[in-house]
Amino acid sequence: MAKIDLDQLSIEELAALRDQATDKLAEKVGARQAELEAELERLAQYGKSVKKSQATPVAKPKKDEAGKDEPSKGAAQAA
């Protein structure tokens, strides 16, 4: 992997890099989760049923998208 001089990047470039890293991490986590679920299914055929987690992780919205759907907390408290 090429070294990146973070001090030389603009704010926009740093934000884009963060978004790319977040997307790649989510992709890798999803692939690993699929691998582990397949392994659990394979192992389940050998005896005890394997308890599958009921809560599936949900991707967190990006900071710039997080507040768009919800009214501000100050407005909710004032009502």
Q: What is the pLDDT of residue 26?
A: 98
Mean pLDDT in consecutive groups of 10 residues from the start of the chain, 79 residues: 91 97 98 97 79 61 56 51
Q: Is the pTM of this model over 0.75?
A: no
Q: HEC string of 22-69?
A: HHHHHHHHHHHHHHHHHHHHHHHCCCCCCCCCCCCCCCCCCHHHHCCC
